[in-house]
Amino acid sequence: MKYNLPKYILPALLAIAFGCSTAKQDITSSPKNKTSIDRKVDSLLSLMTLEEKVGQMNQYNGFWNVTGPAPKDGSAAKKYEHLKKGWVGSMLNVKGVKDVKALQKIAVEETRLHIPVIFGYDVIHGYKTISPIPLAEAASWDLEAIQRSAEIAAAESAASGLNWTFAPMVDVSRDARWGRVMEGAGEDTYLNSVIAAARVKGFQGNLGEFSLAACVKHFAGYSFAEAGKDYSTADMNRNTLHNVILPPFKAAADAGALTFMNSFNDIDGIPATGNTYLQRDILKKEWNFEGFVVSDWGSMGEMVGHGYAKDLKQAAEMAANAGSDMDMESSGYIEHLSALVREGKVSEDKINDAVRRILKVKFQLGLFDNPYKYCDEAREAATVGKKEFHDGVLDVAKKSIVLLKNEKNLLPLKKQGQKIAVIGALANDKTSPLGSWRIGADDNTAVSVLEGLREYKGNQLTYAKGADVVLGNPQFVVETKINTTDKSGFAEAIATAKSADVVIMVLGEHGLQTGEGRSRAELGLPGVQQELLEAVYKANPNVVLVLTNGRPLIIPWAAQNVPAIVEAWHLGTESGHAIAQVLYGDYNPSGKLPMTFPRAVGQLPMYYNHKSTGRPGGDAPTESVFWSHYGDIDNSPVYPFGYGLSYSKFEYGKVKLSAGSFGKNGKITVSVDVKNNSTVDGKEVVQLYIRDLFGSVTRPVKELKGFELTEIKAGQTKTVTFTIDEKTIEFYTANNKWEAEAGDFKIFVGGDSATKNEASFTFTK
Ligand code: NOJ
């Protein structure tokens, strides 16, 4: 689709600036043609007033229903005037071709320089057709499926006018109290890194009309919010920052991510938005990142709340000097930045750098070539909700399910002649499976578990709610109130269970009990669900517990007593189909936990790759009290990181190494035989961990360094091989740089992080 060229004079201006005759050719932006983009950016910059430059650094939330009259007063009118003056570089939360087009038209046809706006939105795990929450997708350990899921999200939302997603979130999350663990890839740095790269590639593709610019967030440290309480301070040392938090960001930058978002938290006493060390020194200098950094919502203004800036003006000064390029909804830049430049508090060079970065991304997206690139109504109608998107999200949903326990041969379910009781409000819910952060999707659009199960006709199905999880109709912006008293449905649930062969209980968190602002101090089954579970189990112990939740839950009783447990997260639009296919064995589960399931909240933060101590607790010294442990609970989790079963049975042979040592530029190979000792074909995630026995700084007890998701036919054995070289063992050392240190290492290969299948090697420098 072509926009009306004569009305759009920027090409002519650029042509003048370049001294070129064919303006149309010269504004054609291609991601491959970086130097030419840089020249165009410089030319355009030379035409801009200071106010127009600052305008590019300003992002507003959607402020006006474009189908109605233009706003006449209040802040909406002011924002509207700013848009017309070219003082709005970006908008968020405007979606749909009609609205995006109307606003873009103002930017490119009514402003002096006709610079297009970039439209951002939280396309976190889908737009209308919703994929599993990112934590669930991480449980698939399937990078192709994860990339495909991001491609679907990009294609659908780009068809709806959007250009930029505020994803992926790559915050390494060790504390399940923090509600946003649902939005990332869990507790491990390596897994977060490879998934970050896959998601960036999926969103950005070839930067064509079905792609979005990615925004890697939250830079940095946000997930370390103290005690899991959202927005709290993130207290960590430099060693943790570099070895744990930063690598996924680096991986995303290396994968070509066009933008970053900073974060709400302070780190080392400095709010991330005003943090020069993070944004200028590490991201832009050390990593050579050429895209731009957007603040988080209002995070510039919140530096006042942090007690770091005395007012919004000083916050704007600090943010601009620290390298925060675009202001999301604080209005700090638009109100104060020009004055700050005139007063000499922020140099115009810094402004130029920020604006260059922003314009460059707009060129890379092709918005100068065609500002309406994403605004095709026919494409929108033909694309949103496509069948192939549903097939794609179903595929990744099945792959995200983790089988935690399967005794008494309860699973897979028999397809004929069974009486099956389905219990739990979440079984009959078509909104909760969409999870948190799915603001583009409509309520009631997911396939419920009950609907999925009903498609299998051979068994007799009865349903009883048992108890509500939350009261009323939960809303995205409102706190969900948990049902802690109403047990009036228990009797019906118990009676239904009594007359069944198998009971499927769907329990857990409502989709809106996780996500931003949804920290929880108690992590058991919310409300009266634990009581319901125990009462039903008493009536009929043949219980299959299907958990739907956005974070690890504390379920020691269930793990001990209930014979079968399936972790089904919030799986998105096709949730019920995916769960039913796994329960009936039409899909053999292969997911593995991306976060540890603790025994008690008191163990948090809990993660497998913790440091050792002078008094380590692996093998408990029973005769002594003075070792690293709790007096009232085991150190071990209920389920470790990387854990997950299958309907197949995998057996690991001993770890074999090609040599006992290697030196600089050398390598060794590690191999292990994995046998599928069952009659069912299946997939296994073979995981490689190392332990660096001593270093210039203390090292974790184990670190994931590789994995292979491999299909093994029934009865067959596969040899899985990994290579270990200097890169594998590098870390951020006492020299404040990434390097490999000579020393002794252990290596472990197995089906989860608790594996004891080990060998040893030495690295000689
Ligand atoms: C705040 C959240 O922290 C961030 O992740 C999100 O992208 C922005 N709001 C925009 O909605």
Confidence of residue 754 (pLDDT cuts 50, 70, 90): very high
**What pLDDT digit, counting tens, does each position of 218-244 carry?**
999 999 999 999 999 999 999 999 999
Active site residue 99: no
In Å, what is the CA distance from 617 to each residue of 622, 625, 701?
A: 10, 11, 11
Q: Which of 99, 142, 296, 395 does the annotation list as catalytic?
A: 296
Instruction: Identify the pLDDT of residue 3.
Output: 41
Percent of the chain residues topping a pLDDT of 90: 91
Distance CA 306, CA 288 (A): 29
Token pair listed for 217: 């967030």
User: Ligand 1 atom 3: the closest Cα is on which residue?
Assistant: 296
| In the predicted structure, residue 27 carries a pLDDT above the cut 80 | no
Closest atom, ligand 1, to C-alpha of 217: 5
CA of 264 to the centre of ligand 1 (A): 10
Instruction: Identify the pLDDT of residue 623.
Output: 73
Ligand 1 pocket, residue 297 CB under 6 Å: yes
The residue type of 622 is T
Instruction: Identify the pLDDT of residue 574.
Output: 98
The per-residue b/e assignment along 225-253, b for 16 or more CB within 10 angstroms, e otherwise, is beebebbbbbeeeebbbbbbbbbbbbbbb
Distance CA 142, CA 281 (A): 34
Say if pTM beats, i.e. exceeds, 0.85: yes
CA of 390 to the centre of ligand 1 (A): 26
Instruction: Identify the pLDDT of residue 1.
Output: 38
| In the predicted structure, residue 98 carries a pLDDT above the cut 70 | yes
Q: Are 115 and 107 in contact (CB under 8 A)?
A: yes
Confidence of residue 447 (pLDDT cuts 50, 70, 90): very high
**What pLDDT digit, counting tens, does each position of 723-737 carry?**
999 999 999 999 999
The per-residue b/e assignment along 200-219, b for 16 or more CB within 10 angstroms, e otherwise, is bbbbbbebebbbbbbbbbbb
Q: Candidates 95, 122, 212: which one to mutate for ligand 1, based on the most atoms within 8 Å of Cβ?
A: 122
Distance CA 691, CA 68 (A): 62
Instruction: Identify the pLDDT of residue 67.
Output: 87
State CA 681 to chain mean position distance: 30
Instruction: Identify the pLDDT of residue 261.
Output: 98
Instruction: Identify the pLDDT of residue 17.
Output: 46
Catalogue the E-assigned strands of 213-366. 215-219, 259-262, 266-267, 270-271, 292-294, 327-328
Q: Which CATH superfamily is domain 650-764 in?
A: Immunoglobulins (2.60.40.10)
403-592 has CATH 3.40.190.10 classification: no
User: Ligand 1 atom 4: the closest Cα is on which residue?
Assistant: 296
Average pLDDT over residues 635-663: 98
Instruction: Identify the pLDDT of residue 20.
Output: 38
Confidence of residue 620 (pLDDT cuts 50, 70, 90): low
| In the predicted structure, residue 619 carries a pLDDT above the cut 80 | no
Token pair listed for 518: 């949804």
CA of 396 to the centre of ligand 1 (A): 25
Closest atom, ligand 1, to C-alpha of 120: 10
User: Which residues does residue 683 pair with via DSSP β-bridges, in sequence order?
Assistant: 711
**What pLDDT digit, counting tens, does each position of 562-594 carry?**
999 999 999 999 999 999 999 999 999 999 999
State CA 474 to chain mean position distance: 22
* Domain extent listing, the chain: 403-592, 650-764
Confidence of residue 476 (pLDDT cuts 50, 70, 90): confident
DSSP state of 586: S
Percent of the chain residues topping a pLDDT of 70: 95
**What pLDDT digit, counting tens, does each position of 242-299 carry?**
999 999 999 999 999 999 999 999 999 999 999 999 999 999 999 999 999 999 999 9
Distance CA 407, CA 559 (A): 11
User: Ligand 1 atom 11: the closest Cα is on which residue?
Assistant: 122
Distance CA 252, CA 124 (A): 15
Ligand 1 pocket, residue 122 CB under 6 Å: yes
Mean pLDDT, all residues of the chain: 94
Instruction: Identify the pLDDT of residue 580.
Output: 99
Average pLDDT over residues 665-670: 98
Q: Candidates 118, 216, 259, 261: which one to mutate for ligand 1, based on the most atoms within 8 Å of Cβ?
A: 261
CA of 297 to the centre of ligand 1 (A): 6
| In the predicted structure, residue 689 carries a pLDDT above the cut 80 | yes
CA dihedral 171, 729, 259, 314 (to 10 degrees): 70
**What pLDDT digit, counting tens, does each position of 409-430 carry?**
899 999 999 999 999 999 999 9
Instruction: Identify the pLDDT of residue 34.
Output: 57
Instruction: Identify the pLDDT of residue 765.
Output: 84
User: Ligand 1 atom 10: the closest Cα is on which residue?
Assistant: 297
